[in-house]
Chains A and B, each alone.
Chain A
Amino acid sequence: MSPPPSGSPQGEAETHEFDAGPNRRAENLILLALGGASLAAVCFAVLFVALPDTQLLGIALGGSFALLGLAAVLAGKKVVPQEIAVEERTDFGDEQVQEEVAEIVSGGGAGVSRRKLLIGAAGATGATVGASALVPAAALGPAVGEIVAQTPWSRGRRVVDSQDRPVTAEDVTVGTFITGFPEGASRRELGSSIVLVKIPPNELEIPARLRAVAPEGVLAFSKICPHAGCAIGIYRHPLFEPTSERPALVCPCHYSTFDVRRGGTLEFGPAGRDLPQLPLMLNAERELVASGEFLEQIGPSYRGIRQ
């Protein structure tokens, strides 16, 4: 590649050709690549009908594009005339023209009396029209109001498992957790799902008020993390006490870790609140039943969360 001479005339691009001339070998390679690309494309069509296997289809289509690309690059680098061009840059920023444009714009309002008033009125009208458009936008969804605070749980609502069977005190064993739902309510609501864990009552470190709503050491918490709303999916339960860590419910999204023995208080992670607890009681069949609503608001924090 030899450099082009410098010093081109103003405004005109100056070019310098090099490496021009026929290149039979490159041309033959291009023909070969083009043929291969057609073949691969036909293969793709045949495979699509006869054997639509993802891997084979990918190889055929990708191979076809690869060969076409190879042909194009070869043609661009080896076959067509090569040239380097030097072009002078055009200047922007002619101050005289800028001045003229500004004068034309401001000249549009020349001679108009009360110009400022009109501009102000137009601006105010624009703002009003824009603000009016916000009203239909508000109809896109309901106001938050009390929706977040309401859950299907209330005193007397039975706890069922994922197969709709009532959960008894014996179903919840130390070291495991069960996902529970309110009987007969939608499970897709954030306020529905709970996790049930059992801690031997003598290990609980919670006030008597909370102990009373954890019959035989069975605790129920909202399954929705109070940080960003993921489902609490991990139960860390120690195997080698007392050296290992304390039992905790952990959210797998941002690893907020809630100490179960202390009634779901935050031990580590970003959650700004503790895990909301659902008060439980046992009915005559020893089934778990809610003895009231959640003790705190469930779901991710927002302005209206009351502590």
Chain B
Amino acid sequence: MIRRAVGFFDDRIGVAPGARKLLRYVFPDHWSFLLGEIALNSFLVLVGTGIFLTFYYSPSDAQTVYNGAYEPLRGLSMTEAYWSTLNLSLDVPAGLLMRQTHHWAANLMIVAITVHLLRILLTGAFRRPREINYVVGVTLLALTVLEGFAGYSLPDDLLSGMGLVIAYGVAMSIPLLGGDLSFLIWGGEFPGSAEFFPRLYIVHVLLVPVAIAGLIGAHLAMIARQHHTQFRGRIATERNVVGYPLWPGYALKSGGLLLVTAAVLFLLGGLVQINPIWQWGPYEPYLSTNGAQPDWYLGWLLGGLRLMPALEVQLGSWTLVPNPFWGGLAFPTLVFLTMYAWPWIDRRWLGDNRRHELLDLPRDNPRRTAIVMSYFSWVLVVFVAGSIDRLYFRSTIPYEAQIWFLRIAVFVVPVLTYFAAKRLCEELRDRERHPLRGWNGKVVRRTPAGGFETLELDEGVPAVDGGNGRPGAPSEEQEAGAGTGGR
């Protein structure tokens, strides 16, 4: 049967050689290699649940009166966008399950991408020859954040309206072009013309998802072409790739991870409430609420807007740089440009332009790890500023005092993090030198008489070059002696 199916397709379009290669494709194994897979799995769940949502959502700002299942909102005038989201949440069977799962999946996808990015940065996986794929990955992060924002803006509840008006304020703040540009996007002054919600909708369900899907395809194709990176091991070198072939074990485990991701997301969607829009009510430009928090992945933009002192650049009677530009655009642009340039910055600073198929452990390269962690802590401090109004409610530390604390922390914490991370890495590296990379400790043996003797391990053991010219002298005995498993 299988033979005939393979024959049918191979005779016509010649699939057999490609299929043979694919089925035997080798995947190195490490838990941190699954982070990207979790992001991909979340995307698949997003597409599935998203298609369900499109059957019920209506991107219209036409006013209508609510008459559905939720008593407190009955008789209230609202846009069709909000009405249809309420309806699909409260009156359509499984509608709320799908919407909440969709929202959870968006949050998880961006968590997975962010941690994946951190893994890539800390292990040096972005180095030559993988700079192109790294750039694609950073673009995917930017697009998913944009996609997430567009998604939670669609329901037109109070929270999404507050997010949109800030987006409008930030767009207006672009020097010189801002006013006309935001009028193009919104079709006029905020809250915009009737075309705005259809535009936002098509961005969310077509333009950005197609771009994301295309870039995911390119990301995977490039991985397949270059093969995965791997950690140094007894057999793993710069010249080979060691791991599990796709078929059958890896495919089953990978498919299992997809199903488990979906399971976790649907359980969250069913059991853990997220964004109960019926409690926020419809948005009007004159309404707002205290303590509103966007989805987590926008916290660093909110924090940037909040931390910035009241600085606007005036030129005569003109406002050249309105304030939201600093925190809302200049800061994220700087963050992303730095991320894009990272492979080239790393190459310059560390003076290493060789090809790398083997990954570093974070402690192997204290300087890189320290720089990455310092950079990450910088964004994290700004991220924290996005939620200190909640901290104020809980701690009663005045909001203004917290802002001043964080305004200083934004400069101090990255410096402290740099030295702390560097020291920690050096300590780890020196204490437990990896046995396969020139471990320089000693192994002792207790003698029958009760004393100790040092085992001479280096004599007569042939040196196996790790493949990248490092002076390591790995050997079976050394590894056994050190008691730590090489991969």
A3 & B312 in contact (Cβ 8 Å cutoff): no
How near does chain B come to A276, taking the closest CB pair, in angstroms?
14
Q: Of the 9-residue stretches A47-55, A112-120, A169-177, A211-219, which lies at the interface with chain B?
A: A47-55
- Hey, which chain B residues are within 8 Å of A140, CB to CB? 184-185, 187, 195
Task: Check if B197 is an interface residue, CB within 8 A of chain A.
Answer: no
A73 & B256 in contact (Cβ 8 Å cutoff): yes
- Hey, which chain A residues are within 8 Å of B289, CB to CB? 233, 252
How near does chain A come to B38, taking the closest CB pair, in angstroms?
13
B319 & A272 in contact (Cβ 8 Å cutoff): yes
With A6-B235, A305-B322 as contacts: A58 and B242 at CB distance below 8 Å: no
A58 & B317 in contact (Cβ 8 Å cutoff): no
Task: Check if A61 is an interface residue, CB within 8 A of chain B.
Answer: yes
How near does chain B come to A51, taking the closest CB pair, in angstroms?
9
Contact of B311 among A82, A256, A272 (CB under 8 A): A272
Task: Check if A199 is an interface residue, CB within 8 A of chain B.
Answer: no
Q: Of the 9-residue stretches A222-230, A277-285, A287-295, which lies at the interface with chain B?
A: A222-230
- Hey, which chain B residues are within 8 Å of A233, CB to CB? 287-290
Report the separation of the CA atoms of residues A283 and B320 in the bound assembly, to the nearest whole angstrom. 41
B145-200: which residues lie under 8 A (CB-CB) from chain A?
162, 165-166, 168-170, 172-173, 175-176, 178-180, 182-191, 193, 195
Report the separation of the CA atoms of residues A83 and B317 in the bound assembly, to the nearest whole angstrom. 73
Q: Of the 9-residue stretches A101-109, A142-150, A200-208, which lies at the interface with chain B?
A: A142-150
Task: Check if B270 is an interface residue, CB within 8 A of chain A.
Answer: yes
Report the separation of the CA atoms of residues A13 and B248 in the bound assembly, to the nearest whole angstrom. 16
Interface size, chain B (Cβ < 8 Å) = 100
Contact of B285 among A8, A86, A190 (CB under 8 A): A190
- Hey, which chain A residues are within 8 Å of B265, CB to CB? 62
With A62-B266, A307-B319 as contacts: A252 and B292 at CB distance below 8 Å: yes
- Hey, which chain A residues are within 8 Å of B251, CB to CB? 76
Contact of B267 among A48, A58, A138, A252 (CB under 8 A): A58
Q: Of the 9-residue stretches A122-130, A152-160, A263-271, which lies at the interface with chain B?
A: A263-271
Hey, what's the 0/1 contact readout for B300-313 against A, CB within 8 Å counting as 1?
00100111111110
- Hey, which chain A residues are within 8 Å of B285, CB to CB? 187-190, 192-193, 224, 229, 231
A141 & B188 in contact (Cβ 8 Å cutoff): yes
With A54-B97, A86-B235, A188-B191 as contacts: A13 and B166 at CB distance below 8 Å: no
Report the separation of the CA atoms of residues A76 and B249 in the bound assembly, to the nearest whole angstrom. 4
- Hey, which chain B residues are within 8 Å of A58, CB to CB? 97, 101, 266-271
With A144-B180, A228-B169, A230-B165 as contacts: A72 and B319 at CB distance below 8 Å: no
With A92-B129, A228-B328 as contacts: A62 and B318 at CB distance below 8 Å: no
- Hey, which chain A residues are within 8 Å of B187, CB to CB? 140-142
Q: Which residue of A lies closest to B324 (CB)?
A: A228
Task: Check if A306 is an interface residue, CB within 8 A of chain B.
Answer: yes
Report the separation of the CA atoms of residues A171 and B193 in the bound assembly, to the nearest whole angstrom. 35
- Hey, which chain A residues are within 8 Å of B322, CB to CB? 272, 300-303, 305
B291 & A48 in contact (Cβ 8 Å cutoff): no
- Hey, which chain A residues are within 8 Å of B248, CB to CB? 76, 80-81
Contact of A229 among B26, B190, B400 (CB under 8 A): B190
B259 & A69 in contact (Cβ 8 Å cutoff): yes
Report the separation of the CA atoms of residues A303 and B403 in the bound assembly, to the nearest whole angstrom. 28
How near does chain B come to A238, taking the closest CB pair, in angstroms?
14
- Hey, which chain A residues are within 8 Å of B214, CB to CB? none
A302 & B178 in contact (Cβ 8 Å cutoff): yes
Report the separation of the CA atoms of residues A305 and B321 in the bound assembly, to the nearest whole angstrom. 11
Task: Check if A304 is an interface residue, CB within 8 A of chain B.
Answer: yes
A59 & B270 in contact (Cβ 8 Å cutoff): yes
Interface size, chain A (Cβ < 8 Å) = 90
Contact of A52 among B94, B170, B182, B292 (CB under 8 A): B94
Report the separation of the CA atoms of residues A26 and B207 in the bound assembly, to the nearest whole angstrom. 45
B37-57: which residues lie under 8 A (CB-CB) from chain A?
none
Task: Check if B284 is an interface residue, CB within 8 A of chain A.
Answer: yes
How near does chain B come to A280, taking the closest CB pair, in angstroms?
18
Report the separation of the CA atoms of residues A257 and B324 in the bound assembly, to the nearest whole angstrom. 16
A303 & B175 in contact (Cβ 8 Å cutoff): yes
B249 & A81 in contact (Cβ 8 Å cutoff): yes
- Hey, which chain A residues are within 8 Å of B309, CB to CB? 270
B193 & A141 in contact (Cβ 8 Å cutoff): yes
- Hey, which chain B residues are within 8 Å of A251, CB to CB? 288
Contact of B263 among A62, A87, A137, A266 (CB under 8 A): A62
Task: Check if B277 is an interface residue, CB within 8 A of chain A.
Answer: no
- Hey, which chain B residues are within 8 Å of A87, CB to CB? 24, 26, 227, 240-242
How near does chain B come to A252, taking the closest CB pair, in angstroms?
4
Report the separation of the CA atoms of residues A13 and B189 in the bound assembly, to the nearest whole angstrom. 62
With A54-B97, A272-B312, A303-B178 as contacts: A15 and B319 at CB distance below 8 Å: no
Sample of 18 A–B contacts (CB below 8 Å): A54-B100, A57-B93, A57-B97, A58-B268, A58-B269, A76-B248, A85-B243, A86-B235, A87-B240, A147-B189, A224-B286, A228-B168, A266-B310, A300-B169, A302-B172, A303-B175, A304-B179, A305-B319
8 other A-B residue contacts (CB within 8 Å) besides A229-B190, A229-B285, A300-B322: A57-B94, A58-B269, A59-B271, A65-B260, A76-B249, A140-B185, A141-B185, A187-B284
**B contacts, CB < 8 Å to A:** 24, 26, 93-94, 96-97, 100-101, 129, 162, 165-166, 168-170, 172-173, 175-176, 178-180, 182-191, 193, 195, 227, 234-235, 239-245, 248-260, 262-271, 284-292, 302, 305-312, 314, 317-320, 322-324, 327-328, 357, 389, 399-400, 403
